[in-house]
Chain A
Amino acid sequence: MNAIFGKRNTLFAQLALSLFAIVFAAPLVLTARVSLQGEGLGNYSAVITQPLLPQFFLNSAIVTAGTILLTYAITVLAAYAFSKLDFAGKGLLFNAVLAGLTMPGVAVILPMFIVVRRLNLFDNYLAVILPLTAFGLPFALLQMRNFLDGVPNELLDAGRIDGCNSFTCLTKIVLPLIKPITVVVILLTFLGAWNEYFLGLVFMQDESRQLITQLPQYFIQERVQDTGKVFAALVQISQPVRVAYLSLQRYFEDGLISGSLK
């Protein structure tokens, strides 16, 4: 695109982008301002010194890590099969998975409760991890398969001549190639798992098992809500997600570039 963009145009682009950036950043600036309402930075220290914070943080970290691991493992296996292996009903099965994207969240609560009760998983991290994984899989699969579709089949053919079976082809040839899309899958799964609110509330009946998204509740007492603190808590909670994004930004784009676009 550079080729057709003159100097004057570059200046124009810089100005236009700055204008858009201001518009997009304004709500973020406001977020920071509201979180300082009332006691200023005191809001943040109140959140950080909340005695349950480390426990909630740990719980969310476990749930998030578990969900990422499961999602990733299952997605890699399945995407590999859907992209590189042949079996009857492939397209059909793939689409059947994608149909899972359409299920509205509200309708899922009651059935999930039944499953979790059946598996007797209350107060177990799996009670949150399993449903989160299940409902995150379709999108992750879509991304991963699209990425693998871009990996030339010749690579695998060559591997096969060298004597690897379908599984060793996966581990030796495919796995080293999929780092970019891995970041995408991890980041998106991270986002979904870390921000999850309701599953934790319902399935973790023991207070010590609550997720970090419950934290703002501790600053809402009956009819008195400490807005500044609630907000500081919200900002704090989204911190890990932000950090994750900022530090993985580069790879994330690479992943998108080579992955989800086909």
Chain B
Amino acid sequence: MQRTSMGADTPSVLAGAKRARRTRSINRSWTNYLYILPLFVFILGFVYFAIGYTIYVSFLDWNGFSRRREFIGLENFAEMLDDRIILRALKNTALFGILAIVMQMLLGFLLAVLLKTRIRFKTVYKTIFFLPVVLAPAVISYIFRHIYQAEGGPLNTLLESIGLGALQQAWLADPSFALYALTLINIWQWTGFSFLLYFAALTLIDEHLYEAARIDGANFMQVLRYITFPLLKSTHLTLVILGFIGALKTFDIVYLTTGGGPGRSTEFMSTYIFKEAILEYNAGYAAALALFVVMLCVTSTAIQLYLYRNQ
């Protein structure tokens, strides 16, 4: 309530700031906080409220809507300690995340470099590579379920027709392939994003560096390896961090293709949380799991940034 009234006051306070301007340095003034006030109204009112509420629920034995909510302290967290599904989900997430991030970065980088040459139809390529990024997960999941069909699916048909019939698989139905099949969907969807970031970053690299390297006798691969790649450090980091957070939050494509199965072989933290919260009426436990994900995201992002900066 006080938040909204503060929001309403903003214009008049801003007007006051104008008058104070002459006496104080623009760089350090309490009025600077007014610029971030609207942001924090939203962040506190929604994001932090959500986190806070999740913490509260994580202490409860509650189905998510009943009037009966029993305060059980840390029991939900204790239960997490011997929940083997969490381990499975983390393993799946890690494998999925690492594979997807690495592949998306490599492919994206490769495509970006290739597109920096004097080739034709650049826009066509760029459009094709980036379009998957804007597609709804529902569309993508549906299509890939179709592609991966075990009997008569396009992928298996293709393998058959190029003489690789022996490689045909029940891609999503076989626990030893399902996770990789999902990873491939992610790579297909998000490579365009990596590609575009790299493409943009490459534009910023001074051509003279290449000239200089060439004069020093470096070949193409050496230029890539010793000049281009290191110069894109901040792009790499952006992609790793976003990819990491993305992997931990991956939900739609898993839920809509394998639903976490067969068994738990493609269970992710997010699908597990969903099942606990919605299908099993365990809001308390689901909240504890969600907090775990948040903490994992925050700490590991901090660690990544730390490592990056100490490099």
Contact = CB atoms under 8 A, between A and B. Distances in A.
Q: Do chains A and B make direct contact within the complex (CB under 8 angstroms)?
A: yes
Interface stretch (B51-59, B66-74, B97-105, B161-169): B51-59
A137 B197 contact: no
Name the prevailing secondary structure of the B interface residues: helix
Given A10-B118, A74-B38, A106 B50 contact: no
A137 to B, nearest CB: 6
B297 A102 contact: yes
Question: How many of chain B's residues touch chain A, expressed as a range?
Answer: 35 or more
Nearest to A116: B46
Contact of A9 (B211, B220, B277, B298): B220
Nearest to A28: B131
B134 A96 contact: no
B238 interface: yes
Name the prevailing secondary structure of the A interface residues: helix
Contact of A110 (B57, B125, B134, B220): B57
A93 B69 CA distance: 34
Given A21-B128, A166-B31, A4 B213 contact: yes
A39 B100 CA distance: 37
Nearest to A35: B139
16 contacts: A2-B117, A3-B210, A4-B213, A10-B117, A13-B117, A74-B38, A77-B35, A87-B32, A103-B290, A107-B273, A111-B46, A111-B49, A231-B139, A246-B127, A253-B126, A261-B235
Interface of B: 14, 17-18, 21, 26-33, 35-36, 38-40, 42-43, 45-51, 53-54, 57, 64, 107, 111, 113-120, 123-132, 134-140, 142-144, 146-147, 154, 188, 191-192, 196-197, 199-205, 207, 210-211, 213-214, 220, 223, 228, 234-235, 238, 245, 248-249, 251, 269-270, 273-274, 277, 283, 286-287, 290-291, 293-294, 297-298, 301
Q: Which 9 A-B pairs have the closest CB atoms?
A: A102-B297, A107-B290, A134-B46, A81-B35, A257-B200, A111-B50, A78-B39, A100-B47, A111-B53
